[in-house]
Amino acid sequence: MGILEVKDVGKNFGGLKALSDVNLSVAENTCHAIIGPNGAGKSTLLNCLVGKLIPDTGSVMFDGQSVLGRSPHEINQMGISRVFQTPEIFADLSVMENMMIPLFAKRDGAYRLHAVEKVSNERTLIEEAERMLDDVNMLDKRGMHAAAMSRGDKRRLEMAMCLVQDPKLLLLDEPTAGMARADTNNTIDLLIEIKEKRDITIAIIEHDMHVVFSLADRITVLAQGTPLVEDLPENIKGHPKVKEAYLGEAH
């Protein structure tokens, strides 16, 4: 039994079958990659996991509980954090303020009025945020305006914001899309370090095979809304079905 269990999930958009019969089991403390050509339904699947979309059929269980029908903030409170394709951060706030928000969310839940206390009085949370920023080598940028940072730094900040909540499952949606090679390699190093240091399960959607094969313990190939194969990375590499899906017979 994995920490994330996806069973017979199907999702239609009008007449378009985006997902059908998706079964997926992600084991605890592993890195599971979901790959597939464009339009395979990877992002739809991810959106079904975080509460942005509700599947038409099937079930999604996380840590023994169903996530279906819960809103994104409730799912996050269950222990799932998500990194977006384009970094979603609080661009109008400073790096440190960006870090404080997930910490407050973790400590206080989805809502707490908390209107007369001072942010700067929260010593323990500030220390925690600083430790996390140090882990991703961004401590020197703590006072910086988040909008002014490079894309690579925004990505690191977003990851730090997710990790500081100490999630059980980290979902990564093409974390290196549009990145330069050097930034991509930095991100891979960062993710490998995270995997080694923490008890964390990672599910990653990725186009870049270099990233996938550096990180994944297991790979699911998705094509036309259905899982094609699920196997260890070394078996996926030369798999005829995968080649077919990517190069395509129809083309």
Q: In the complex, which residues of this chain contact other proteins (CB under 8 A)? A: 50, 71-73, 76-77, 81-82, 84, 88-93, 97, 100-102, 104-106, 108-120, 122, 161, 165
DSSP string of 130-180?
HHHHHHTT-GGGTTSBGGGS-HHHHHHHHHHHHHTT--SEEEEESTTTT--
Minimum CB distance to other proteins, residue 147 (Å): 9
Q: Which is nearer to other proteins, 95 or 219 (CB)?
A: 95
Question: Which of 52, 62, 54, 57 lies closest to 85 in space, CA to CA?
Answer: 52
Measured between alpha carbons, how far is residue 81 from residues 38, 120, 173, 203 in Å?
A: 24, 25, 11, 10
Q: Which lies closer to other proteins via its Cβ, residue 119 or residue 192?
A: 119
Question: Least distance (Å) from other proteins to the CB of residue 114?
Answer: 5
Instruction: Please say which residue, 82 or 218, places its beta carbon nearer to other proteins.
Output: 82
CB of 38 to other proteins, least distance (A): 23
Return the number of the residue (39 or 152) whose C-beta is nearest other proteins: 152
Question: Residue 110 or residue 148: which is nearer to other proteins going by CB?
Answer: 110
Question: Which residues neighbour 182 within 8 Å (Cβ) at sequence distance 6 or greater?
Answer: none
31, amino acid identity:
C
Closest distance of CB 59 from other proteins, Å: 22
Question: What span, in angstroms and rounded, lies between the C-alpha atoms of 172 and 160?
Answer: 13
What is the nearest approach in angstroms of other proteins to the Cβ of residue 145?
A: 11
Tell me if 66 sits within 8 A of 59, measured CB to CB: yes
Closest CA to 195 of 32, 20, 56, 22: 32
